[in-house]
A and B are shown apart, each in its own frame.
Chain A
Amino acid sequence: DIQMTQSPSTLSASVGDRVTITCRASQSISRFLAWFQQKPGKAPKLLIYKVSNLESGVPVRFSGSGSGTEFTLTISSLQPDDFATYYCQQHNSYPWTFGQGTNVEIK
């Protein structure tokens, strides 16, 4: 199985900060990498698919980059609505696997 490792596990930041979350795969997953946002008690929401493609309706302050085994999610200017947990997920091969999550909290 492909292991997905996110860092950091928790990130404390302020409104307006630039935030970067890293996701590392245990083997190459080409560009089959998605990012999700989840708020407490809610279902995950797709933000970015295939590394860098913004899902419809997602603000442009979110961006993704990377290839192979190293990927990043960047929020260019953190907004109050962005405090949540973020997950990366590979869909290169089954079983699909998620990172353990990064909790973005208010500093």
Chain B
Amino acid sequence: EVQLVESGGTLVQPGGSLRLSCAASGFIFGSYGMNWVRQSPGMGLEWISYISNSGSTIYDVDSVRGRLTISRDNAKNSLYLQMNNLRDEDTAVYYCAREGSSGSLDHWGQGTRVTVSS
């Protein structure tokens, strides 16, 4: 069974840093591209970043570029999101999601909550 489990979300002050993790199991992690998607309170879904299976290709949305950085460790079956210079508007539930063979986000974790507030 495919499982994705996020961790690392917490309360952090504006300008602070945080690293989110996503532990994967039940599939060959190194064969799949992975993504982070976030959802602000009461709002819709926002895709923020993609990393290819090897880690050699990364795409992200303009609003996070230079502050939120995706990475992965295939030996540890783990995906990461390094979050620097956090802003109030980064407050959200962050989901990791697998890009399936169809190109769609076919499996999601349960999410981890990040709150940016002083």
Nearest CB of B to A19, in Å: 19
**Which of B35, B100, B102, B104 gathers most chain A CB within 10 Å?**
B104
Does B62 interact with chain A (Cβ within 8 Å)? Answer: yes
Does A71 interact with chain B (Cβ within 8 Å)? Answer: no
Does B26 interact with chain A (Cβ within 8 Å)? Answer: no
Which segment of A10-18, A20-28, A73-81, A93-101 sits at the interface? A93-101
Residues in B with CB closer than 8 Å to A87 are 44-45
Please count the residue pairs between chain A and chain B whose beta carbons lie under 8 angstroms apart in the complex: 60
Q: How large is the interface on B (under 10, 10 to 19, 20 to 34, 35 or more residues)?
A: 20 to 34
In the bound complex, CA of A68 to CA of B46 (Å)? 22
A43-B95, A43-B111 known; A98+B104 contact, CB < 8 A: no
Residues in A with CB closer than 8 Å to B66 are none
Nearest CB of A to B52, in Å: 12
**Which of A42, A49, A89, A96 gathers most chain B CB within 10 Å?**
A96
Does B32 interact with chain A (Cβ within 8 Å)? Answer: no
A43-B109, A95-B59 known; A101+B103 contact, CB < 8 A: no
In the bound complex, CA of A95 to CA of B61 (Å)? 6
In the bound complex, CA of A99 to CA of B45 (Å)? 8
| B37-60 CB contacts (< 8 Å) to partner A | 37, 44-47, 50, 59-60
- The binding surface of chain A is classed by DSSP as loop
In the bound complex, CA of A43 to CA of B98 (Å)? 13
Report yes or no: B44 in contact with A101, Cβ–Cβ below 8 A: yes
A95-B59, A95-B60, A95-B62 known; A46+B45 contact, CB < 8 A: no
Report yes or no: A98 in contact with B47, Cβ–Cβ below 8 A: yes
Extra A-B contacts (8), CB below 8 Å, given A36-B45, A46-B106, A50-B104 = A44-B95, A44-B108, A46-B104, A46-B107, A49-B100, A95-B61, A98-B47, A101-B45
Q: Which residues of B contact A (CB under 8 A)?
A: 35, 37, 44-47, 50, 59-62, 95, 100, 102-111
